[in-house]
Structure 1
């Protein structure tokens, strides 16, 4: 029944403060500061969004860091909703971040890919939805 409960699709920037994230065994501090997890710019209804052909692209200061077809996701939105709802009550308006394609600096050669710093602009685009742009201060 998961399909019946999706209002729509949007873009989310799953920001992480790695310096805080690794201070303990839980990642919550590095994922939950003010202004983290921006979303938008719009919500597209499921019937108006071609999930199987959509591409997600993330750039930092214009340089592509991530790019993948959504069809390559290991767990599709319906599977994620079914899994989560077996452990928790999902409410109207809940937003589920589904993960990120490869390309984050964590686990990469940090001399080639630097961490985000003040002044950097990150754009996340999903074809059929739009572009979310955030400048880091």
Structure 2
């Protein structure tokens, strides 16, 4: 078989303790999934979950102990950080029950959902899709994936982000409005999940702007931390 253009290389993420890599299929993101973040965005309560997607080329895969560079994206003057626990799907399925969700998880990682907030807000005002605010290249940095058996109690782990060594976000995964298992149940009712899917589970309060030169260091207790510099 020949192609009229060169097919893109497979996007992948390192896996802790092995030379193998996790190939990325789709990136699902859960919106407003911590109550305090929902409040700072102007919403309250346990609303039905909603999701958006990022393309595979949004991934910036960072090796353990390394720091990657993320270019400041075009068109925006208000680039926000959103630290998140990421779930890596190892076994696909549709209509997965929350009680069975754990059997579909390969592992966990620390991720950032970088957001062109000014563009997102403008699209919201116009009632238009806000892909331009979320689904751009290199908007989803991620650290190495820790297999589930080695990850500890991620559902009660601390999650944090520091910018230039100063706290910006700090909370606990237990404060998710929709748990990891519930998110998988809802997602798999709408899409058939596939091995290689990543789920960015939502961000706690404290989102704010970053500028060129800033260093972002984020973590979830029990997982490899993530470090990037905005260039």
TM-score, scaled to structure 1: 0.86
Q: Which residue of 2 aligns with 1:5?
A: 104
Q: Deviations over 1:52-104 (max 9, x none)?
A: 44111101111101111111211111110001001111111000110001111
Q: Which has the larger radius of gyration?
A: 2
Tell me, what secondary structure is at the counterpart of 2:167? strand
Q: Residues 41-60 of structure 1: matches in 2 within 5 Å?
A: 42-49=144-151, 50-60=153-163
Tell me, what secondary structure is at the counterpart of 2:183? helix
Structure 1 residue 22 corresponds to structure 2 residue 117? no
Tell me, what secondary structure is at the counterpart of 1:23? helix
Tell me, what secondary structure is at the counterpart of 1:101? coil
The structure with the greater share of residues assigned to strand is 2
**Do the aligned residues in 1 keep the contact of 2:154 with 2:221 (CA within 8 Å)?**
no
Q: Which residue of 2 aligns with 1:85?
A: 188
Structure 2, gaps ≥5 residues long: 1-99
Aligned length: 127
Shift of 1:20: 2.2
Q: CA RMSD in A?
A: 1.3
Q: Which residue of 1 aligns with 2:140?
A: 37
2:199 to 63, 72, 96: 96
Shift of 1:127: 1.1
TM-score, scaled to structure 2: 0.52
Structure 1, gaps ≥5 residues long: 106-114
* 11-20 vs 77-86, which moves further: 11-20
Q: Deviations over 1:86-133 (max 9, x none)?
A: 11111110001100011113xxxxxxxxx2111111111111002111
